[in-house]
Amino acid sequence: MQIASLAEVGLPNVSTSDTIDSTFAALKRAQLARRGSFTLEARIAQLDQLRDSIKRYESNIIAACAADFRKPAPEVKLTELLPVLQEIRHTKKHLRKWMRPKRVAASIGVWGTRSYVRPEPKGVCLIIAPWNYPLNLALGPLVSALAAGNGAIIKPSEMTPHTSKVIANIVAETFPPDLVSVIEGDAAVAQKLLALPFDHIFFTGSPAVGKLVMEAAARNLSSVTLELGGKSPTIVGPDANIKKAARYIVWGKFANNGQTCIAPDHVFVHRSIAAPFNEALKQQIGRIYGKTPEARQSTPDYCRIVNARHFQRVSSLIEDAKSKGANVFEGGITDAEENFIAPTLIANMSSDMDISREELFGPILPVIEFDDIDSVINKINDNPKPLALYVFDQNKSFARNIIERTSSGAAGINLTVVHFLHPDLPFGGVNNSGIGASHGEYGFRAFSHEKALMEDKHSLIHLLFPPYTRWVRRLIDAAVRILG
């Protein structure tokens, strides 16, 4: 199916309580009826159907992302389509192995038994997707949910309504509604969904909302995967390749207009190379987005802030920093009519500025000079654990020292953001930046219950059963002495 124009995409429908309840009940019944029939072949067929639908809707996805926040078509392909299609391909290749029960050797205490760990579907799962990568972060987790044999409800973000509608069309065309359904709507709809006893909830969003999701999940004792965010620091050491560091940082920061949970939030640069590094950042911005303000606003390669509310939030961060003595040495230009904020570099940051405390989630990059790496490490450790941390330096021990002395969901050396594309790496945070992990086998396991299965063959454990005669007590004492 091809959609001729954005007018045909339509806007999301707000789901009622009755619709939500009936949809959930239908998935629950179907999941119970299908239990025991989640074959490898059936799961692969579902993944094939999803892949084919995504490819068929490619032009519609590109048009929808452009309508929602002027996302460039190449960026849609690289950051929305490629990760999901790669996830499908990787999962199909390895799913047989992941599904296979894993034999566990018997310990001495249970000698004579045979044991396995058997992955089973958790049941009916809820996927709450964000607006910054609206297709990727809705359908990527769905791949893992289907691979693990689950049914799912997807709640796309209402802030990207055109993409939300395309997701709904893809799902409706690809799956029966008692296997996968899309529920569209605002925060009130999300609250109604969170009140239901889902078997697993996969949420991507801010730490503040993640706490609310976890609180709601606790009422039903639903397990959760929380993909959150935080202020991901970047350190540029004295022996860094300055040009390479600037290239990766500018791309990782300003792609998607900075609206990326693993984008560099701020940069610590060694004072000895600060001047050439700052100049390299400016040169890279000019090379990618244009050398003049007019060129940067007119380039088709630069995304926009998603809506007026977030535009105001990010603009206020810049104004607050300027009012408190910050030096905006590149960018800072805004246009409210287009939700446009130019790539912005800020120096002279202080602790009383909002940019020091808030996750920026926009095209603002504070650059902070340092002399002593211990002070940088202390600053990182004084703040909540970030989703990612990046180090640029050609001295391996310099990078290793930072990574070993800090805690983060992931770490990158001489690159940014790229780790998200590796299907064999877990993607997830720690504490404030997330709980659990996704991608590849880690995503499959997030949506699976790992059931312990033990079978008696010729165990002698019954010799320790009551009544506790003198002989049984001696056996128990011997067991404690030998095995304890």
Given strand 180-182, what is the order of strands in its sheet?
A: 180-182, 151-155, 124-128, 200-204, 223-227, 434-435
- Amino acid, res. 273: I
Q: Do residues 249 and 225 lie in contact, with contact meaning Cβ atoms separated by under 8 Å?
A: no
CA end-to-end distance (rounded Å), the chain: 65
Q: CB under 8 Å to 153, separation ≥6 — which residues? A: 23, 24, 27, 124, 125, 126, 127, 180, 181, 182, 183, 193, 198
Q: Amino acid letter at 146?
A: L
Query: DSSP per residue over 12-74, as a string?
Result: PPPPPHHHHHHHHHHHHHHHHHHTT---HHHHHHHHHHHHHHHHHTHHHHHHHHHHHH---HH
The Cα-based distances of 245 to 199, 268, 314, 371, 400 in angstroms read 43, 12, 25, 18, 17
Place of tokens 């000698």: 111
Catalytically annotated residue among 80, 87, 120, 261 = 261
List 267's β-bridge partners, or say none. 234, 367
227 in active site: yes
Per the annotation, the verdict on 261 as an active-site residue is: yes
Catalytic one of 227, 330, 359, 441: 227
CB-based contact 360:258 (threshold 8 Å):
yes
- Phi, psi at 96, each rounded to 5°: -55, -45
DSSP H helices, 396-469, are 396-405, 440-446
CB 344 within 8 A of CB 365: yes
- Residues involved in catalysis: 227, 261
